[in-house]
Structures are given as C-alpha cells and as structure tokens.
C-alpha cells in the first residue's frame, strides 16, 4: 500500500475513507489456487495450436477451418489502443492457450464422475455443482418462493467445461444448456447457423483471436414460446498460471421465449497478469427476451498494480425479431484492466435494449467500459444506466455509443452516467458518442460526478455504523438502480461485493 500512504488528502473524512480503502489489499476472497495436475498445449499461438484445440474438443472439420481462417485474419489485425487504459505490451506467444485438468482427459459422463478436487473448488467458491435449490438470503427473502429457486450451472475451469447441472430437467422443457464444445458436437446445425453472426470473426483484435482459439464456454438454446424454467449461469474460474482463458458463449432465444442468464468469474492472486478474452453472442428472435447478468470479480492485481486479469471482452446481442428485448446488467469489480462494451443491435421493430452497469475501480485498477446501442429498426428503445465508482489511484471510464440509423424512425434512447469518487487520486471519465441520422429519433444523456459526501458519512456514523458500513451503505445507495436490475439472489451477492471491493471488510 505504498502508493496510498503517499496520498495527500484535503480533509479529515477523505483521509479516513482513504484509510478504509487502504485495507482492501489482500482482501480478495478468491485468490487461492487449486493444486491439480494440468495438461497444457505448448505456449504460444500458431495454426498447429489452433488445430490442437479443435482436436482436443473433438470438433468437426468445418469448425477447425473456421478457426484457422480466424487465425489468418488475426495476424492481419492490430491491437486497439483507443481505450483509456495502460498496460505493458502482451506477448501473445508467451501464453498457454489450452490448459485442462488431467482428470478431464476422459470426459466425465455425469457430475458424479468429475474429479472431487474440481468439485471442491466450486464448493469453496460458493457454487456447489449439485442440483439443489439456491436459497435466498435475508433481505427481500419474502419475495422468494419458500422452496427456493433453481439455478443451473455450467462450470468452466481454465480451458474446459467440467460439468453442467440440471441438464435433464432443462431438456424436458426443450431448453439446451451445455458447454459450447458439446454443442458443436451435438447440435452443429444450431452452432453453424448462429456462431459468428453477431460478433463477426473479424470484429476486433481480441474477438478474432478468440474465434481462433476459444476452448470452451456455454451454449443456450431456448425453443419458441418456452420460458426457461430456471436461471442459467456459467461460472468461469481461471486457475493455471500464464494461461489465457478464451471462452465463447452463444445464447439463442427463439420466438417468444425467455431466459435469464448469469455469469460469474474469479481467479487466483498471482504476480503476473493474465489474459481473459471472451466473446458472448446473443440472438433474440421475435417477442423473445434475454436477461444477461455478470458479476465480474477477476483478481484485480495488488495495490501496486502487480498481476491481475486483463479482461478484454466482446459481448453483443442482436435483437433480430420485432418486439425482442435484451437487458445487460454488469457488476464489474475485479480485473486489473477492463475493456468491455456489452452492446445491443436493435434490428427488429420496437425492439428494446437495456444496459445497467456498476463498475468499481480501486487501487491501480483501470476500467474502460460502457455499451453500444445501435438502433436500426422503427420505434426501438434503449436505456443506459451506468454507475462508475473510483477509489485509490484507479481510472474509470464510461465509453458508450448511441447510434440512430436512418430507418430507426421514432427511436428513443435515455442515458444516465453517474460517477462517484472516493479520495482525490482517482479519476472518472465519461465519453459518450452519439450519432443520429434521422430527425425523429430522441436521445437523452445525463451525467453527474460526485464525491462521497462527508455529511452523509457522519450522519451514518452518528447512528452507530462504522466507516466501512457507512461507505458501503452510501455506495450501495448510489448503485441501487443497477442492483435492482439483477436477479434477486445475485443482487444480494453483488451488494456485498460492492462493499468488499471498497472496504476490505470480509463479507
């Protein structure tokens, strides 16, 4: 915490807040490592590595070709530099692109066959891979059905999916929920039809690399008219050192269907930075609705900025059908560097896109995140609510695009970007891009920046809360609009996470 000790602060309360924030170091709860025998592909990326990953996943020839073409395109692309983030140049030949626990060499047929060490890892993370109810916590528990709610989990460990729960029950409802490698083998017609149609192979540097080397991820297909009977989720864990995680998620909500999906992510605390470059594609057909929530808690690096995950992620939803709807909710508390813009293409008439985001950057973390709302269809609507919180020496940027195309008659957007600063060594930046090509469209943008108010903190403390509780309460109040957008169980988890990432109190 050398950096923070030198912090000059203006007044008493800010000093105390800085002290509270100082205690965060070492408070990352998921920084432990699972000791397990791994099998790696040789370091670096080449056509041979691409073929090897494809082979490990027992993929058909068309998939291998798709990957190889992506690799060729990646060689021609340049790393983007426009984001407000600084990090040492990544040596893409010094990364393992494939790491699999040895015990996964023969694919387990059911969860009972999965290596107990892996199951224990998820147990420790609080994601038990059993088909059980998730019981709601105390607050708001009255809203939950008495018997709890079911959440199906796909668990991805380094480069492979180790298992998916509630598969049979979902299958009975017609929902396909499995790892993407399984989907490529078992549902090639769906994968062929949709993969790369939302995020094209050549979309951007990281997405192109991902297209070549992605190892696993989740696949969801909800058939027409089906309301998915439970929440679906994927839990990503990076465990191996010097390994990049390249996951690929494909979600298809067919006509009139509904699904709510959540992803969570953690990684061990290591001195060297690690790359995570994911691609998520969502297809929303007529009258369908998808909710996609993320609680991102990758290792953020230490207080001096050593280590941490570089989170370079491309997420996009295509609202193809009329009246289709997608809602992105993200709580970004981890990662050393975040570069992420979950976006909506509003193609169908009256389609709707929503983006709710909480991004917390503490210590030396850098976050450049936001969304793109591309309005193509008539009467399309979008709403953006972004809450950025900066503490320590962190830099937090909201970067967003709202684009109203010629045919997007009477399209509407509302954007609200609020930034909260804790201490005076951090920064908050808002970079909205707005393109309007038709004069019936309406775009509204509101932005505020504020500091945690010392009167608010004193008021809370005079009622008996300590400084950590007071900061957590005020910040959670600041984030409320977004926390409310999360599924209830995760809202509580996120609320605690917000407190932990700012205060160092062990939740």
Say how far apart CA 311 and CA 68 lie, in whole Å: 24
Touching another protein, residues 199-238 (CB under 8 A):
none
CB of 32 to another protein, least distance (A): 28
Touching another protein, residues 261-290 (CB under 8 A):
none
The phi, psi pair for 308, rounded to 5°, reads 105, 165
Nearer to another protein, 77 or 383 (CB): 383
User: Quick one: which segment of 9-17, 53-61, 83-91, 392-400 binds another protein (CB under 8 A)?
Assistant: 9-17
Nearer to another protein, 116 or 464 (CB): 464
486 part of the interface to another protein, by CB under 8 A: no
Question: At CA 371, angle to CA 370 and CA 374, rounded to 5?
Answer: 160
* Given 401, 481, 496, 505, the residue binding another protein (CB under 8 A): 481
**DSSP one-letter code for 107:** P
* Given 61, 147, 189, 455, the residue binding another protein (CB under 8 A): 455
Size (the chain), residues: 507
Say how far apart CA 435 and CA 444 lie, in whole Å: 12
CB of 294 to another protein, least distance (A): 21
CB of 455 to another protein, least distance (A): 5
19 part of the interface to another protein, by CB under 8 A: no
Strand-pairing partners, residue 366, are 337, 395
**DSSP one-letter code for 136:** P
**DSSP one-letter code for 6:** T
Touching another protein, residues 85-144 (CB under 8 A):
138-139, 141
8 part of the interface to another protein, by CB under 8 A: no
**Quick one: which of 46, 48, 51 has its CA closest to 66?**
51
464 part of the interface to another protein, by CB under 8 A: yes
* Given 478, 494, 503, 504, the residue binding another protein (CB under 8 A): 478
The three-state secondary structure class of 9 is: coil
Strands 289-296 and 325-332: parallel
23 part of the interface to another protein, by CB under 8 A: no
Residue at token pair 């390249």: 246
Residue 71 burial by Cβ neighbours in a 10 Å radius (0-12, 13-18, 19+): buried
* Given 26, 47, 80, 477, the residue binding another protein (CB under 8 A): 477
304 part of the interface to another protein, by CB under 8 A: no
Residue at token pair 């999916």: 161
Q: Which residues bind another protein (CB under 8 A)?
A: 11-13, 138-139, 141, 453-456, 458-467, 469, 473-474, 476-481
């Amino acid at each position: 915490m050398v950096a923070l000790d030198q912090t000059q602060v203006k007044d008493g309360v800010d000093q105390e807040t800085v002290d509270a924030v100082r205690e965060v170091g070492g408070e990352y709860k998921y920084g432990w490592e699972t000791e397990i025998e791994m099998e790696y592909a040789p370091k670096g990326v080449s056509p041979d590595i691409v073929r090897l990953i494809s082979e490990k996943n027992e993929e058909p020839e068309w998939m291998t070709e798709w990957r190889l073409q992506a690799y060729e395109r990646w060689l021609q692309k340049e790393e983007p530099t426009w984001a407000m983030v600084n990090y040492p140049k990544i040596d893409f030949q010094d990364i393992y692109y494939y790491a699999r626990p040895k015990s996964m060499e023969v694919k387990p047929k059911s969860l009972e066959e999965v290596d107990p060490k892996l199951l224990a890892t998820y147990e420790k993370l609080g994601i038990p891979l059993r088909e059980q109810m998730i019981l709601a916590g105390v607050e708001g528990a009255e809203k939950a059905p008495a018997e709890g709610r079911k959440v199906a989990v796909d668990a991805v460990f380094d480069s492979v999916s180790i298992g998916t729960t509630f598969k049979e029950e979902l299958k009975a409802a017609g929902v396909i929920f499995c790892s993407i490698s399984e989907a490529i083998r078992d549902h090639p017609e769906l994968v062929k039809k949709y993969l790369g149609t939302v995020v094209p192979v050549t979309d951007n540097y990281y997405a192109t690399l991902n297209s070549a080397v992605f190892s696993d991820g989740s696949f969801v297909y909800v058939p027409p008219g089906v309301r998915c009977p439970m929440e679906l989720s994927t839990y990503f864990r990076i465990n191996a050192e010097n390994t990049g995680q390249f996951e690929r998620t494909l979600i298809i909500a067919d006509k009139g269907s509904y699904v709510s999906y959540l992803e969570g992510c953690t990684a061990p605390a290591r001195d060297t930075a690690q790359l995570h470059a994911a691609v998520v594609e969502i297809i929303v057909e007529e009258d369908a609705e998808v909710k996609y929530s993320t609680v991102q808690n990758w290792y953020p690096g230490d207080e001096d900025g050593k280590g941490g995950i570089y989170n370079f992620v491309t997420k996009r939803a295509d609202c193809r059908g009329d009246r289709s709807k997608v809602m992105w909710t993200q709580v970004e508390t981890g990662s050393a560097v975040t570069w992420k813009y979950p976006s909506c293409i509003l193609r169908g008439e009256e389609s709707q896109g929503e983006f709710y985001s909480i991004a917390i950057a503490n210590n030396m973390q850098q976050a450049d995140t936001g969304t793109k709302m591309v309005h193509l269809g008539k009467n399309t609507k979008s709403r953006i609510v972004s809450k950025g919180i900066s503490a320590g020496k962190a830099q937090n940027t909201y970067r967003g695009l709202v684009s109203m195309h010629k045919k997007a008659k009477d399209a509407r957007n509302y954007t609200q970007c609020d930034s909260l600063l804790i201490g005076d060594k951090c920064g908050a930046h808002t970079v909205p891009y707005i393109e309007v090509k038709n004069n019936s469209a309406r775009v509204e943008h509101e932005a505020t920046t504020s500091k945690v108010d010392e009167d608010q903190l004193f008021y809370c403390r005079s009622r008996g809360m300590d400084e950590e509780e007071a900061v957590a309460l005020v910040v959670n109040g600041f984030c409320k609009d977004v926390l409310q957008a999360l599924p209830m169980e995760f809202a509580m988890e996120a609320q605690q996470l917000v407190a932990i990432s700012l205060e160092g109190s062990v939740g």
